[in-house]
Amino acid sequence: MTSIESVAAHTSLRFPTGFVWGAATSAFQIEGSTEFGGRSPSIWDVFCRQEGRIADGSDGSEACDHYNRYRDDVALIKELGMDAYRFSISWPRVIPNGVGAINEEGLGFYDRLVDELLAAGIRPLPTLYHWDLPQALEDRNGWVNREVAEAFADYASAVVCRLADRVDTWTTLNEPFVVANHGYVTGEHAPGRTLMADGMAASHHLNLAHGLAGERIRSLAPDARLATVLNFTPMRPATESEVDRLEAYHRNNLENRWYSDPIAGLGYPEDTADFYKWDCSEVRDGDMEVISQPIDLLGVNFYSRSTVSADKSYKAPIGTSRNAMGWEIHPPSLGRLLRELHERYSFPSFMITENGAPMPDTVRKAGRIEDNDRLNYIREHLVQVHGAIADGVPVEGYLVWSLFDNFEWAWGFGPRFGIVEIDYDTMARIPKKSAEWFSEAARVNGFDYGHLADPAIYWPKKTIEDEDDD
């Protein structure tokens, strides 16, 4: 990366040459056509059919109909001037039984998508697993079963063999914490299971899956870069009480370090394993070495921070700025997080692989949604990224979540994260004001920003330790 000018005196932010501007989606959230092209049911198809699981009773069978409209969608991404597009590959489309025969029609879809992107000058950034486990593998105990990690490596090999000549960066998993926690502990996500011990076993097998697939990627595509995508939610205790601090400490270890620490060779935070009563019996000799092979890029998904209390009835104070799903909006936490990740780990590079917000999207002018709130959210977070880069954190790009309004898992289609509106009646794609702003920012590799007279907005490094968190 080229050097970046000192930011404090400027009102015009410019990112380093080559900074990547793009958008992200995932297969189940946008593709639809879940019963076509030889795809088998995933855990999400089954979960959606269970009474009460999805807030609006919806499912992913149509979603944004991207499976049929991918050519137009790629044209739109190009029109928006994006450098890269992050999407996920659906395991049940490619290997319907989870193991064994490859479904040519399914793999062919991603082959064509990658070609279409490249022809449009857009860099494809595929993620191999974004939550849609083939149900056939859940029937064998899902991620609680070690064999699923091995099956994932075989699936990864099949995809990499086919696309390696056109993909420069392979991402193994998206947000394994959410997979293990929401899927196996709280039950709010598919497969809807609720046992802490299962969640802990799943977490190790997800780490192992990353490692085993990583080995395959290294041998099949030696020139490609290996990446994984983790979500980070900085934690702060609600009060200074010992119990709140302890709760925040272990939650932080479980949500924010459980995947990155082992990859960085630091192992699992042991006291937190004890706290959650995990005896580590799933960890076999050699696993931690497989998991800790070097990665080239850590994808950072960031949305919010959490205020943690040991008191389950704790309610955050009214007045905090929140998105339409109630998540606190706190951009400085992103700048701080990036500096902390860089200090803690020696990963060569970071990319913001998801950041964005569901907003009410009620104001419309001349047929277009005037989403100033989303635009501000994105801009304020980009300011933080810029500040972190200025402090030496190697952040190579920013991908907004999401390109489209889409299926927001247990929330259904209610929350709208897109910078492009989807009219679900007509499937029309209508760029919102934030999309136009983002497109211009991508074009000039930055944006004008009015408040830089206040350098504190950058969360300068020297104040990390002693800042007051408000």
Candidates 62, 116, 282, 354; catalytic one: 354
Candidates 116, 175, 380, 396; catalytic one: 175
User: Per-residue DSSP letters for 221-257?
Assistant: -TTSEEEEEEEE--EEESSSSHHHHHHHHHHHIIIII
Query: Could you tell me the CA-to-CA distances from 389 to 35, 299, 449 in Å, in that order?
Result: 44, 15, 16
Does position 110 interact with ligand IFM (CB under 6 A)? The reply is no
> Applying CB under 6 A, which of residues 90, 253, 256, 301 lies at the interface with ligand IFM?
301
Strand partners, 420: 404, 431
CA distance 369 to 91: 34
Return the amino acid letter for 268.
Y
> β-pairing, 225-232 with 235-237?
unpaired
- Considering the complex, what minimum distance in angstroms separates the CB of residue 187 from ligand IFM? 17
- Print the binding letters for residues 23-42 with ligand IFM: x by CB under 6 A, - otherwise: ---x--x-------------
Please give the residues from 157 up to 176 whose contact with ligand IFM meets the rule CB under 6 A: 175
Nearer to ligand IFM among residue 26 and residue 103 (C-beta) = 26
> Applying CB under 6 A, which of residues 44, 345, 401, 438 lies at the interface with ligand IFM?
401
CA distance 234 to 337: 7
Does position 232 interact with ligand IFM (CB under 6 A)? The reply is no
- Considering the complex, what minimum distance in angstroms separates the CB of residue 47 from ligand IFM? 14
- For 356, the enclosing helix (H) or strand (E) is none
Active site residue 408: no
> Applying CB under 6 A, which of residues 398, 408, 422, 432 lies at the interface with ligand IFM?
408
Active site residue 247: no
- Considering the complex, what minimum distance in angstroms separates the CB of residue 304 from ligand IFM? 10
- Considering the complex, what minimum distance in angstroms separates the CB of residue 438 from ligand IFM? 17
CA distance 80 to 396: 19
CA distance 208 to 58: 33
Does position 21 interact with ligand IFM (CB under 6 A)? The reply is no
> Applying CB under 6 A, which of residues 354, 361, 371, 405 lies at the interface with ligand IFM?
354
CA distance 22 to 341: 22
Residues that bind ligand IFM (CB under 6 A): 26, 29, 175, 301, 354, 401, 408
Catalytic (active-site) positions:
175, 354
